[in-house]
Amino acid sequence: MFCILFWISVICHLLPEQAKQQLINGLALGAIYALIALGYTMVYGVLRFINFAHGDVFMLGAFAGYFLSPLVSRLLPAKSYLSGAVVLVLAMLICAALGMLIEFLAYRPLRNRPKLIVLITAIGVSLFIEYTCQHKAVFGAAPRSFPDLIPASNLHFGSLVVSSSQVIVLVTTLLLLVALTFIVQKTKIGTAMRAVSFNEKAAALMGINVNFIISFTFGLGSALAAAGGILYAMSYASIDPLMGVQTGLKAFVAAVLGGIGNLPGAALGGVFLGLVETIAGGIPEISPYRDAIAFAILILILLIRPAGLLGKMQPEKV
Amino acid sequence: MFAGSKRYLIAAILFAAALSPLLSWIASAHPSKIWDRYYLGIAIDIGINIILAVSLNLINGHTGQFSLGHAGFMAVGAYTAASLTWGAEAAKTSPLLGGIIFALALLAGGGTAAVAGLAVGVPSLRLRGDYLAIVTLGFGEIIRVILQTTDTMVRNWELDPTGGLARLLENMGGASGMKGIATLTNFGWAWALAAVTVFVIAALVNSTYGRGFLAVHDDEVAAGAMGINPVRYKVTAFVIGAFFAGVAGGLYAHHKQYLNPNGFDFMKSIDIVVMVILGGMGRTVGVIIAAVLLTLLPEWLRMLPSFTLGNVPIQLTDFRLIIYSLLIIGLMMARPQGLFTFGKARGGKA
């Protein structure tokens, strides 16, 4: 691990300044993709279906931050790191509850139905959230500008400029990844999650409350998506009810890239995708195709490794 | 010569062709509310959607693959056909010549879409299930993004602005859309081609060769063990499905007279998928009924009343997309096998 980090840092030193700048921008975008991709991959791990509504939970997270920020700034000093953190945690809790609610209302009644049915339901849930939020009585379709959560400043490293929001994005993502790894690998509930993912029936026979674990997984994934939403809104300053569609799709691509169902794979896929997109955006000849690049890479990688970068090929059983 | 189901096909084409001048005559002679362009336009939309749904049914229903990129094939066909008829002044003056040009343009549109279908079908050599779904989705998005950048291509590639390619790309309009497409689609074209599509796909699936599609749907491994080449069937399904989607795209272009890449996004693909699922996967009649109903549904929802609750005016039409999404969820919970599926499923999972 450290060896890899060492070599990456050596390579980074050899790069020209502009490339380093792009690298930082790409990492910040990739970190957000990674956070959303983790939710897709976790749900796929336990339920084996693509939760299309996940991108909308990401959007709801950003809107939760939008509405919470003035409330929180009444109690705590506005634009401070403390109030920013409080907004983040509250939005994560709200979205965790929403994610669990979606699972309970829409997916649980369909637990034993064919995957395709659940997939279409997920698309229906996604449309429902998007259309409801676009209604003028809810959020309205017009974009809103996201309030500054933290003091805006730029850090200078030589000629490199790193904005404080980029630092926050990277640091928050790292902390969340560490926390997630701890939950999944070291806690009892994480062990249960892995057991359900491995074999749901056997897990149930071992006394694991499968419903609770699935609910918890949705909550965890949705909380990460909410964090991604707030970090995204901080970086791009504009939110609208359809912001989750493209970002959600790309994060899903990231999850598939890394091998769906594989947690480190999702993080890796997210960072990879963010880097590639940012680098492509910096080259004038390909920048108009920026949005297509994610999918082109996905197709190429799946042709070479059908189960994704870190995924394991499952032998087909008759 | 015209044995069995071919008779019905001929009858359907003749019916549509005969109805078409009648309808347009009524529309021009009586510009009343019932026969105005709005209703005729919806009738054409229905024909186009039947082609889309039945062709997707071959891929998603009969062959059991999950394609989320049908709108991409439609876009390829639409832009190809529209580019071919663009500038063909003869199409506006002589109906016969216009008809021939239109038919060739539709064929070319279907052909290019079929090539795109081949390009999507090849990854299915190694991919299945969710992975295939996401690859088809990706193809659709790639096509959309490429179409969005046609006007910038001229500048980026430094094409000669007077050259044919540059003018063609310029005319496609990039993100602002392609305008000024001749109105060549009428009721007869849409419904006759819908009849052809239904016939070709039904005849194909019911033929000895076509049983392979159902075998691949039921059990790929067992089909392979029986000497059926699943890959070949899957690729064939994609190519044929894409061909008809391309034809539908050509009809769509010459019906709406305007194309925008964003009209062919992931949501459009979902609309077609919903038609197939609602009709019951692999059920041709059900899928046709679903295509008709789902084309009419948004129009019905448009007519919802508005009322005031206390002092708050409530316009139910604002809720129509919300109602649409709730319907999808509700139907998946109540009748996942499709609305129009009765009795034992044919070609379903054992």
Dump pLDDT digits (tens) for A3-59: 666 666 676 666 777 777 888 889 999 999 999 999 999 988 888 888 889 999 999
pLDDT at res. B116:
93
Which own/partner pairs from B142-146 qualify as long-range (CB within 8 Å, at least 24 positions apart)?
B142/A292, B142/A295, B142/A296, B142/B72, B143/B69, B143/B72, B143/B75, B143/B76, B143/B116, B143/B264, B144/B72, B144/B75, B144/B261, B144/B262, B144/B264, B144/B265, B145/A288, B145/A289, B145/A291, B145/A292, B145/B261, B146/A289, B146/A292
Residue A289 lies in a domain: no
pLDDT band at B160 (very low <50, low <70, confident <90, very high): confident
- pLDDT for residue B159 is more than 80: no
What CA–CA distance (Å, rounded) separates B92 from B249?
A: 20
Residue A89 lies in a domain: yes
- pLDDT for residue B28 is more than 80: no
* Mean pLDDT of all residues in A89-105: 95
Minimal Cα–Cα distance from B173 to chain A, Å?
14
pLDDT at res. B72:
94
- Quick one: DSSP state of residue A315? P
Q: Which residues on A lie below 8 Å from B277 (Cβ)?
A: 116, 120
Minimal Cα–Cα distance from A231 to chain B, Å?
25
Minimal Cα–Cα distance from B289 to chain A, Å?
19
pLDDT tens column, A120-177: 889 899 999 999 998 888 888 889 998 888 877 787 777 777 888 888 899 999 999 9
Residue A260 lies in a domain: no
pLDDT at res. B350:
34
Contact B184, B85 (CB under 8 A): yes
The nearest alpha carbon in chain B to A260 belongs to: B131
pLDDT at res. A292:
86
- Determine contact: A123 vs chain B, CB below 8 A: yes
List, in order, residues 6 or more apart from B272 with CB less than 8 Å away.
B49, B52, B53, B56, B70, B71
* Mean pLDDT of all residues in A272-280: 90
* Mean pLDDT of all residues in B234-251: 94
- Determine contact: B134 vs chain A, CB below 8 A: yes
**Which of residues B19 and B215 earns the better pLDDT score?**
B215
Classify each residue of B26-60 as buried b or exposed e, where b means 16 or more C-beta atoms within 10 Å of its C-beta: ebeeeeeeebeeeebeebbbbbbbbbbbbbbbbbb
**Which of residues B266 and B345 earns the better pLDDT score?**
B266
- Determine contact: B175 vs chain A, CB below 8 A: no
**Mean pLDDT score of chain A, rounded to an integer?**
87
Residue A39 lies in a domain: yes
Residue A312 lies in a domain: no
Q: Which residues on B lie below 8 Å from A291 (Cβ)?
A: 141, 145
* Mean pLDDT of all residues in A63-74: 90
The nearest alpha carbon in chain A to B125 belongs to: A303
Number of domains in chain A: 1
pLDDT band at A263 (very low <50, low <70, confident <90, very high): confident
- pLDDT for residue B346 is more than 70: no
pLDDT at res. B53:
95
Question: What is the percent of chain B where pLDDT is above 90?
Answer: 25
pLDDT band at B71 (very low <50, low <70, confident <90, very high): very high
* Mean pLDDT of all residues in B131-158: 84
Residue A313 lies in a domain: no
Residue A111 lies in a domain: yes
Range of the domain at A162: 18-243
Phi, psi of A248 (to 5 degrees): -65, -45
Residue A261 lies in a domain: no
pLDDT at res. B49:
96
- State the number of CA atoms in the 13 A half-sphere of A125 facing the CB: 25
pLDDT at res. B3:
56
Residue B223 corresponds to which tokens in the numbers above? 């089909």
Biggest CA–CA distance in chain A, Å, is 63
Distance linking the first and last C-alpha atoms of chain B = 38
**Mean pLDDT score of chain B, rounded to an integer?**
83
pLDDT at res. B349:
41
pLDDT band at A95 (very low <50, low <70, confident <90, very high): very high
Could you tell me if the ipTM is greater than 0.85? no
Which residue's structure tokens are 């090539």?
Answer: B115
Q: CA dist B323 to A76, A137, B265, Å?
A: 41, 15, 21
Q: Which helix (H) or strand (E) holds B75?
A: helix B70-85
